[in-house]
Amino acid sequence: MREPLHSNERLCAKNELCECMFIDPENPFIAVEFLLPGEKQPATPHLCVVCCRSLLPTYTYHGLSA
């Protein structure tokens, strides 16, 4: 859960609506997209780990798969 530090890292797909923007109103930031180790960077950005976590209750409740 951090901002992108390297040129090959991308922002969370939710951009300004990233959940990290709301954790600390004094220090909002957009987190880096979450990729599994060894996973190649897809054409479109993924969500950050915090945004992925925020979707889990929805997936569980509605019986959706990620």
Residue-wise pLDDT for 7-56, tens only, equals: 999 999 999 999 999 999 999 999 999 999 999 999 999 999 999 998 87
Residue 61 has pLDDT above 90, yes or no: no
Position 62 confidence tier, pLDDT thresholds 50, 70, 90:
low
- Name the CA radius of gyration of the chain, rounded: 13
pLDDT at 56: 77
- Specify the DSSP class assigned to residue 59: H
What are the residues whose beta carbons fall under 8 Å from the beta carbon of 15, sequence distance 6 or more?
Answer: 30
Could you tell me the residue ranges of all domains in the chain? 1-37+44-66
pLDDT at 50: 95
CB 19 within 8 Å of CB 49: no
